Structure 1
Amino acid sequence: MGNNKSCPGQECSSRFLPAEQAEVNRLFDALSSEKLGSSASPRSFSLQALKARDHVGDALPPEMVTRLFEGMRRVDGSGKAKGPSERVSQEQFTASMSHLLKGTAEEKSLVILNMISASGGPVKARDVHKFTEDLVGSVVHVLSYRRQLRGWSQKPPPGSPSRVQVLAAQLCSEMRLQGGGKLLGPQWLDRDCDQAVLEDWVFRAHHVATFLSLVIHQGFLLLRSSLKLATLVPERQVDPQREFASVLDVLSVIYVNSHLPQERRLSWRLLFATELHGNSFAQLCGRIAHGGPCLVLLEDSDGHVFGGFASCSWEVKPQFQGHGRTARLLWAVDRRRFRERTQQGQAHVHHVRQPSAVGPGGLPVPEDGGVGGGRGPKGRVGQENQEHSGHRP
């Protein structure tokens, strides 16, 4: 019986199916086809070849292309750190692609560490934070470049920081630093992060591995058939004759969509928006009632976006509705941070009260005589909200 570790890279090559390995080999052949001097190995490629217009080109930001190259050239076929070389061999390329696309959290963390550190040793938390910003920014960049935004916008909201910085900070906050602390503020940026910390982080923050895979699939145009882009970025279904700007950009959509039930992640169909349908509460009820599970998104006058997920249809009636298996997701997407909280097993989930009287704009008049929306466990839907967007996942 043969030993599957008998030659460098063979163990990593076996992670790919034969057709996948053939595609990986074809990409390497194209990258290593540049004209070389007599002293260079014919089975390797340079950073310039990777950045060439007929390969990655402008599909990824230059900083991320350089990081990927550095990560590849510092790994050998067995996945262990080695001294840097000026070029990437076929064994290094195969091992890196295997780790990033099919590897364990430990293997991914090794490549990430090599993408951050020239020595392969511990790095500062601020370096991990900068890497995360580059990674999140590359996701938006490559989706826009490949025209895969699926109807969503990449335009940043007004104000600072950007959504790239916000999501990067959220991902970094899931890291457990040495000693048990979390990366929750500037005071933690000088703490050391070794491979064990990065491995635990990759395991906890699943978006990191997902974003790395997306960057490889879309940036390198490699094994794209294995990328389930539809479950990552849901299609935005809006009447083309009534197009309008959503309160969410593509990064916010990716983050919120990842917390929905698996079967609700493929597409979002607009049910109601004040920009299109006005401020009538009657219109809101008429469009969302019996519409199936839906998201409710609201933007206040300060530009903060928040909302929730109703896992069963809304109904206009005097009782609360829901069941013991209903899940409720609450989140806030603002200029400072992403926040999310999931509650399972809530029997009373949402409530749109049947009004006994109707006030201005079709809003129901509650018992206290004021004009407001149907009261639920967490507040009301009323005119003070700048926008109500019902999306049916």
Structure 2
Amino acid sequence: MGNTSKKLAAKCTLLTKDEQKYVAATFRAGSKNSERIREDDLIVSGKVDAVSLEKFWGPQIDPRLAQYLSNFLFGSGHQKSPSVDFNRFAELYVYNVRGTVDERMMVTYNSLGKDYNETVELPYQLLKEYCESIASTYIKIVKASQSRRVRTWIDKGFRGRASHVQALGEAVAATVGGDLDSPHHHCSAEQLSKWLETNSLLKQLAELVFINLYGINKKGSDESPTPLPPSMPSLLPLPEGLDAMPDYPAFTDLSHIVWLNSHLPQQHQHKWRFLFSSHIHGESFSTMAGRIQDQGASILIIEDSSGHIFGGYAPCPWSIGPNFVGTDDSFLFALAPKMRAYPATGYNDHFQYINHHTKTLPNGLIMGGQFEFGGIWVNADPFGEGSSAESCSTYRGYKRLSKDPTFHIRSLEVWGVGDKPEIIKDEDERDVSVLDTNPEAKAILELAGRTRHSDGIREPPPL
């Protein structure tokens, strides 16, 4: 690593041994005013100025976040310093990646130009812009990545558009307290502390942003951005099945995938399996039902003719039948114009229902609510029509998902999430002869005077 970097790293005991060389190297790179400055000069001053830092991070950082980090590193107003020492530079990384709630509180306050004080309230608008800047920087880093996982999403039309990135930041900030759609004008230190403790998506976004800004684990062969520790779930799942779709019609965005994936159970966050698209497989309820049955947990995503995008997470396999199934892991969500999630209330278990070709029961797909009044209702015949009820007791905080109570489906797709479950055949299915499934072969055998020796040996099927 070199004697210079060792001296720099020794100044910050907060860093792990593996992190020291990366943070020290990033500090040295950011503090070079020109190629002619000697490393010894950097050690004497131990400083990095704001101008060189902005140039160093410029390509991969939202300009607003650059200003917020400058506030933390150099101060603001009349207390602004022209340079920062290594310890402060390392603290910014450590506090954001694995800091305590109090340390992250201090970073948030200082970044927004405030002194951390329990009596000081933060303007909600300022906090929202802070979240937007983190989300924007993350998407910038993702779009610059050369990993196969990321390139597959982007090549298939998932762009990371500015309006959706802004909606992602707003969705993260909206959980700070009060009504999701009517937040307080200011948030107290107590609200901020609880928010930082419970908002896992914000923490993951910040970790990934600073791991990349500080060059941690930056290797060409990595599935980058790579969080630490490696076991942390990826914010972008591996898309399985998209490569075979040359004309895949994406109607969602990278920001939608990141936000929605963060709400799934952890065991389902690593992979999405493409199952059905109304554009690719046709507007057929029978085709959709056939492709999504017995595929494990899944997510349904709908775009209505007004541009609203919404759907639901089905934790249990879809199966044609007369009853509701599912567990309280189920939730409904909106992706556009806002990103919102509506978890189960526990009031009833009307999570998922699908049926077809019946005379006495509804033919279609329902998530939440009652027959004829579902949180999501997709009609089987004619396919393409649906509705979203004004209220739904199955999901907490629910608001109508579509623009109008009834809607026309512009796009509908279903993804399996997590690994595909292994199908274990029932005992009676395993004990089936080839002749049982081929009556013509059985008849020929009987005409020839041949008998089936196993007929009197096999146990009768259970009643």
Same fold (TM over 0.5): yes
CA distance in 1, matches of 2:320, 2:169: 40
Instruction: Give CA deviations for 1:103-162 in whole Å, capped at 9, x if unaligned.
Output: 0111112112111116667443322222222222222222112346451512549xxxx2
- Ranked by relative contact order (alpha carbons within 8 Å, sequence separation 6 or more), the top structure is 1
CA distance in 2, matches of 1:354, 1:196: 51
How far apart are residue 246 of structure 1 and its match?
A: 2.6
> Is the CA contact 2:93–2:211 (under 8 Å) kept in the aligned structure 1?
no
Is 1:166–2:163 an aligned residue pair? no
Matched residue, 2:53: 50
Matched residue, 2:194: 200
CA distance in 1, matches of 2:213, 2:74: 18
Q: Residue 154 of structure 1 is aligned with which of 148, 155, 159?
A: 159
Count the aligned residue pairs: 352
CA RMSD of aligned residues (A): 3.4
> Is the CA contact 1:290–1:313 (under 8 Å) kept in the aligned structure 2?
yes
The normalised TM-score by structure 1 is 0.78
CA distance in 2, matches of 1:375, 1:212: 37
Q: How does 1:12-27 map to 2 (within 5 A)?
A: 13-27=12-26
Q: Residue 381 of structure 1 is aligned with which of 363, 378, 381?
A: 378
How far apart are residue 285 of structure 1 and its match?
A: 1.3
| SS of structure 1 residue aligned to 2:307 | coil
Instruction: Give CA deviations for 1:2-32 in whole Å, capped at 9, x if unaligned.
Output: xxxxxxx98x944432122232222223223
Matched residue, 2:396: none
Instruction: Give CA deviations for 1:337-360 in whole Å, capped at 9, x if unaligned.
Output: 22211127665532222414xxxx
| SS of structure 1 residue aligned to 2:321 | coil
Matched residue, 1:361: none
> Is the CA contact 2:68–2:111 (under 8 Å) kept in the aligned structure 1?
yes
CA distance in 2, matches of 1:99, 1:355: 58
How far apart are residue 70 of structure 1 and its match?
A: 2.3
CA distance in 2, matches of 1:129, 1:318: 45
Residues 182 and 110 of structure 1: is their aligned pair in 2 closer, same or farther, counting only changes over 3 Å? farther
Matched residue, 2:112: 116
How far apart are residue 42 of structure 1 and its match?
A: 2.6
Residues 136 and 68 of structure 1: is their aligned pair in 2 closer, same or farther, counting only changes over 3 Å? same
How far apart are residue 330 of structure 1 and its match?
A: 0.8
Matched residue, 2:216: 222
CA distance in 2, matches of 1:269, 1:92: 44
CA distance in 1, matches of 2:29, 2:173: 36
Residues 318 and 195 of structure 1: is their aligned pair in 2 closer, same or farther, counting only changes over 3 Å? closer
> Is the CA contact 1:242–1:276 (under 8 Å) kept in the aligned structure 2?
no
Largest Rg, 1 or 2: 2
How far apart are residue 282 of structure 1 and its match?
A: 1.3
Matched residue, 1:363: none
How far apart are residue 57 of structure 1 and its match?
A: 3.5
Is 1:261–2:265 an aligned residue pair? yes
> Is the CA contact 1:295–1:391 (under 8 Å) kept in the aligned structure 2?
yes
How far apart are residue 259 of structure 1 and its match?
A: 1.2
> Is the CA contact 1:327–1:344 (under 8 Å) kept in the aligned structure 2?
no
How far apart are residue 315 of structure 1 and its match?
A: 1.4
Is 1:316–2:313 an aligned residue pair? no
How far apart are residue 39 of structure 1 and its match?
A: 12
| SS of structure 2 residue aligned to 1:200 | helix
Q: How does 1:1-393 map to 2 (within 5 A)?
A: 13-34=12-33, 42-52=45-55, 55-74=56-75, 83-117=79-113, 122=120, 123-147=122-146, 149=150, 151-152=153-154, 153-156=158-161, 162-176=163-177, 184-185=181-182, 188-189=184-185, 191=186, 193=187, 195-223=189-217, 224=226, 226=228, 231-237=234-240, 238-322=242-326, 325=327, 327-335=329-337, 337-343=338-344, 347-356=349-358, 366-367=359-360, 373-374=364-365, 377=370, 378=374, 380-382=377-379, 383-384=384-385, 385-393=409-417
Residues 375 and 226 of structure 1: is their aligned pair in 2 closer, same or farther, counting only changes over 3 Å? closer
